[in-house]
Amino acid sequence: MRRTKIISTFGPSIADPKILKDVCEYADVIRINLAHGTWDESEEYNHKKNIQLIQETAKNLKKPVAILVDLKGNKIRISNFKDHMIELEHGSEINIVFTSEKMANNYEIFIDADYCFSKIEAKDKILLDDGLIQLIVTSINEENMTLHCEVEKGGLLRSNKGFEVENKIIHRSGLGEEDKRDIKRLAELGIDWIALSFVNEASDVTKAREVLTQVGSPINLIAKIERLEALKQLFWIIKASDGVMVARGDLALESGPGELTGLQKDIIKQTVKGKRIAITATQMMESMISNPTPTRAEMTDVSNAVLDGTDAVMLSAETAIGNYPVETVKAMHEVCKGAETYQETITKNEEYKFSEINNIDEAIAISSMSIARNMDIKAIVALTESGSTALMLSRYRTNIPIYAFTRNEDTQRRVSLYRGVISYQYPFLVDNMSDVIEDVRKELVGSSILKSGDLIVLTSGSPLRVSGGTNSLRLINI
């Protein structure tokens, strides 16, 4: 059983239902980035249709695949190219034009963000596509709102990639009106997680939560950490959110490559300690966009994230536009499994404490894991409505499997992002606990997950079917 979860990004490479099915065999979550694509339902591949395709694929697989959607946020992006991409050569010249036009020719770059034009000066370094492409501003035409640039670091530049200026903050802060509209659309479509870009403080998460509350949606929120400024407020951002994503692309532009690894480890540690989900993202198997196997460095990168304690590792362009999406998710699956064989030897002697204990179900989770780690416990079973007990249990990094039995489909999908948790749909048609235990035994023994006589810990609430009501644990020989 692989405990670390895998997030694969949706795109043209996996839009074919058969390929998507093959990817979902290994992926636990499918991500959609609203910065790419459209809501226009006249287009063949629109966001609504893509979400429904993922939901239908998961249903056919009988697997609780969650959907994570990145809001556009305030990240500045270049417009589209007629040929979808252009090649920039070192030493060549290119103009960046600030305009509302959406389609650029193949010898200029268009950007619809005139509010930041005045912040850019001659000799500034422009960073495109997470810094993979770098330009130097040689002169500025104020009248035409054009930057004349020289290519310092060239390469293939695709449509809609990010635009940054080194050592300057040029984007707007806060939750925009378009993002608010998108949140309401996503609530209607029943997705599971929303990722918020460029979160600088807890109030950025709170504003999104208010929109969800207005429409009565249970969608969970992921705060993407992309700015050094956010690290000053990390404790409060963690408390306000349901999870944190280490968005290494933009974060590296500010921190520099030397500090990034340390920042990743610290963010993951604080997030897990704060009882939230940690996701590690960006360029984890980048070479597999065009190659069928990962590099040794990429294998090590994924392994280190697993050993850092991340809940999930994420594939972006690798599955969205890559040539080998199925091979990529399979490779990540194998690397994660391999790294996890070392996880228990690293953490088995650690005494783990939450930053605070607020609820009975948290105390039950800690007690359950303490018992499990000191006895020959084969599994922990959580009978859960909301998934909160499964979340608390999964904050420990051990090799003890956690099985979440729930009657709620949204809970089943949500916990698919929790490290080490496997969910089962269970209708709770009986009221007697002995009957429930017998049903659990039949499921786990019948599917050869456990064998008769194995000792398990079972957590539950009394009465059953009450959210947040976990108040007991049992040791059971099944």
Of 127, 131, 135, which Cα lies nearest the Cα of 92?
A: 135
* pLDDT for position 346: 55
Q: Is 31 a catalytic residue?
A: yes
Residues 79-103 have pLDDT tens digits of 999 888 999 999 999 999 999 998 9
* pLDDT for position 466: 66
Residues 5, 75, 209, 224: which is the catalytic one?
A: 224
Q: Which residue has the tokens 């199925």?
A: 326
- Bridge partner list, 86: 157
For residue 458, how many other CB atoms are within 10 A of its CB? 22
For residue 137, give Cα distances in angstroms to 77, 91, 93: 17, 12, 10
CB of 280 closer than 8 Å to CB of 224: no
User: CA-CA distance, 53 to 444, in Å (whole number)?
Assistant: 31
In a 3-state reduction of DSSP, which class is residue 397?
coil
CB of 243 closer than 8 Å to CB of 279: yes
* pLDDT for position 118: 93
* pLDDT for position 351: 52
Q: Is 282 a catalytic residue?
A: yes
Which residue type occupies 309?
A: G
CB of 41 closer than 8 Å to CB of 49: yes
Q: Which residue has the tokens 């929790």?
A: 418
In a 3-state reduction of DSSP, which class is residue 84?
coil
Residues 2, 3, 77, 397: which is the catalytic one?
A: 77
Alpha helices by DSSP H, 94-171: none
Q: Is 296 a catalytic residue?
A: no
Residues 320-358 have pLDDT tens digits of 999 999 999 999 999 999 999 886 665 555 555 555 677
Residues 3, 5, 31, 75: which is the catalytic one?
A: 31
* pLDDT for position 348: 52
Per residue in 426-445, is it b (16+ CB within 10 Å) or e — as a string? beeeeeeeeebbebbbebbe
* pLDDT for position 465: 66
Residues 9, 282, 384, 406: which is the catalytic one?
A: 282
Phi first, then psi: give them for residue 132, nearest 5 degrees: -65, -35
CB of 457 closer than 8 Å to CB of 372: yes
DSSP per residue, 129-165: TTTTEEEEEEEEETTTTEEEEEEEE-EEEETT-BEEE
* pLDDT for position 143: 94
Q: Is 459 a catalytic residue?
A: no
Residues 346-394 have pLDDT tens digits of 555 555 555 567 788 888 988 998 899 889 999 999 999 999 999 999 9
- pTM, two decimal places: 0.88
For residue 70, give Cα distances in angstroms to 31, 47, 86, 329: 7, 12, 25, 20
User: CA-CA distance, 326 to 474, in Å (whole number)?
Assistant: 41
User: CA-CA distance, 367 to 131, in Å (whole number)?
Assistant: 47
User: CA-CA distance, 38 to 47, in Å (whole number)?
Assistant: 6
For residue 68, give Cα distances in angstroms to 64, 121, 164, 213, 448: 13, 37, 25, 18, 31
What stretches in the chain show pLDDT beneath 50? none
Phi first, then psi: give them for residue 6, nearest 5 degrees: -115, 130
